[in-house]
Amino acid sequence: MGKGHKTHLPLFSKVIRSLRSKHKNINWMAVKIDLEKAYDGVH
C-alpha cells in the first residue's frame, strides 16, 4: 500500500503545479486586459 501511494505523489504534485500556473496566467491576463483598457482610456 505504501509503495502505490508514493507513485501517485509526483503525479499529484504535477497536477497541483499545473493548476497553480494556470491560475497565475488567468490572473495575469485579467491584469493585462485592465491595463490595456486603462491605457486606451487615457489616450
pLDDT in tens, 15-29: 888 877 777 777 778
Tell me 30's DSSP state: H
pLDDT bucket at 1, cuts 50 / 70 / 90: very low
d(Cα 23, Cα 29) in Å, to the nearest integer? 10
Please report how many Cα atoms fall inside a 13 Å half-sphere around the Cα of residue 22, on the Cβ side: 6
pTM: predicted TM-score of the whole model, two decimal places: 0.39
Higher pLDDT, 4 or 16: 16
Mean pLDDT across the chain = 75
